[in-house]
Amino acid sequence: MSEAQSPNKEAIREAVQERVQVLQPEPQPPARTFSFVHAAEMLAAPQPTKWLIRGYLEADTLVGLFGSSGCMKSFLALDMVLCIASGIPWHGISVPDPGSVFYIAGEGFRGLAARIMAWAVAHQVDARRVPLFVSKTPALFLNPESEGAVSDAIAELAERHGKPKLVVIDTLARCFGGDENSTEDMSAFVAAQDRLRERFACAVLVIHHSGLQDEKRARGASAFRAALDMEFRLDVREEMRVLTCTKSKDHPESPTIYFSVSTQSTGWEDPETGQAISSIVLRRGEGGPGKAKTLKGANRIAYEALIAVAGENGRAHINDWRAEAYTRGISTSTEAEAKKKAFKRAVSSLLDSGHVATADDFYWSAEGQGGQQGDKSRLSGGDRGGQRGHPSLEGVPCPLPLSSPLSEEVEEAQRRGAA
């Protein structure tokens, strides 16, 4: 074939390119992620509130708890957390939907074990068998890599122990990584909590410090409070701690609760000194508008005597209680009859106020049940239907028997530690 008869290579290349362009699919519009729902669908059936702690902590919400340094915010948060994880009432208030809880400890990790153990002893719960997971380090939620690591770590454990009902951030300052006074940084922090909440459909509780100039509000940019579904402030009033609801977007404000502070032995001893290790637990107290009330005089001596002689199941026989109260000076008189009358009056007063409950000459603190008296089966130990663990409380059995995956994991970790 002559050169004149050969095809033009450039023309062939152009024809091929045109053909390829014709065959390429047209670009598709991006998938729509925004949608509406008709009001009729919203109103088709009632949508009851899903409470974790009825009236105080709602599922799938962002909640803030703030207070001054040393007011025991972390103790209160742990108190809530352990009730949700174990399924027992929170100071007499129901926990309708117990489950796994993840606690991001930005500070005080070393002291958490003693706090948890003291709570467990006080409430007769085997905390080793409840789905509570505590981080060893804080997280920086303004750092995408750190945020992703937290979320993925929760997801990994959730596959075995169930999606979290609650994630606690303790504290905002230690898990922030930005300027608290910056609206932009605070909004980014809130967005990170929303992503965590939306991924697991869980509640997020953020513990924060009160303002430096105004202790009645949380510290930093107001964007934090604006984003919250509920907010609580914990105050110190004399010897009491007072929890006040300062914001409730969709519900009436939660009633104010008063707590007394009690020292509780963990049952552990310091391996170096042999001294007993104890911590603090909060107990439901009494209070009124503008004034906190606490036990005084003979009532306080009697109550502390009961706590001191309560056995492993939290109960004491009347004779043991009386003897301890006499030793602690229930009456200033040395006369036996005066001591007897003072003790009798104190017992009657404690029963009337709901601080103490009784059955068959045994007495126990009713503070953990919000001052409600109950039968002795609620605090007695032992097996329940062949299932070891904490006793049944308000009809709620131990949620994790010894055969659970979590308990096996804990026991394996203990064996590794012993080795």
Task: Examine residue 69 and state whether it is found in any structural domain, yes or no.
Answer: yes
**Statement: the pTM of the whole predicted model exceeds 0.85:** no
CATH of the domain at 320: 1.10.10.10
Q: Decide which of 252, 287, 322 is a domain's last residue.
A: 252
Q: Are residues 229 and 363 in the same domain?
A: no
Q: Whole-angstrom Cα distance, residue 148 to residue 170?
A: 18
Q: Are residues 217 and 332 in the same domain?
A: no
- Position 187 scores a pLDDT of 97
Q: Are residues 339 and 225 in the same domain?
A: no
Specify whether the backbone of 201 is left (phi greater than 0), alpha (psi in -120 to 50) or beta. Answer: left
Q: Are residues 153 and 82 in the same domain?
A: yes
Instruction: List beta partners, residue 208.
Output: 66
Q: Are residues 88 and 177 in the same domain?
A: yes
CATH of the domain at 62: 3.40.50.300
Task: Examine residue 290 and state whether it is found in any structural domain, yes or no.
Answer: no
Residues of the chain scoring pLDDT < 50: 288-293, 368-411, 413-419
Measured between alpha carbons, how far is residue 155 from residues 165, 322, 400 in Å? 12, 52, 20
Tell which residue, 344, 391, 395, 415, has the closest CA to residue 129: 391
The sheet with strand 101-105 has its strands ordered as 132-134, 101-105, 166-170, 203-209, 62-67, 230-237, 240-248, 257-269, 276-284
Q: Decide which of 189, 218, 252 is a domain's last residue.
A: 252
Q: Are residues 231 and 303 in the same domain?
A: no
Give the per-residue SS3 of 394-409. CCECCCCCCCCHHHHH
- What is the gyration radius of the CA atoms in the chain, in angstroms? 29
**Other CB atoms within 10 A of residue 128 CB:** 16
Q: Are residues 86 and 189 in the same domain?
A: yes
Q: Are residues 71 and 209 in the same domain?
A: yes
Specify the number of domains making up the chain: 2
Q: Structural domain of residue 334, as residue ranges?
A: 298-376
DSSP 8-state assignment for residue 129? G
Q: How many residues does the chain have?
A: 419
Tokens matching residue 23:
């065959």
Provide, for the chain, the percentages of residues in helix, strand and coil under a 3-state DSSP scheme, each rounded to the nearest 5: 35, 25, 40
Task: Examine residue 82 and state whether it is found in any structural domain, yes or no.
Answer: yes
Task: Examine residue 419 and state whether it is found in any structural domain, yes or no.
Answer: no
Task: Examine residue 179 and state whether it is found in any structural domain, yes or no.
Answer: yes
- Position 170 scores a pLDDT of 95
Task: Examine residue 166 and state whether it is found in any structural domain, yes or no.
Answer: yes
Q: Are residues 210 and 317 in the same domain?
A: no
**Other CB atoms within 10 A of residue 225 CB:** 17
Task: Examine residue 39 and state whether it is found in any structural domain, yes or no.
Answer: no
Measured between alpha carbons, how far is residue 337 from residues 150, 325, 332, 340 in Å? 63, 14, 12, 5
Task: Examine residue 35 and state whether it is found in any structural domain, yes or no.
Answer: no
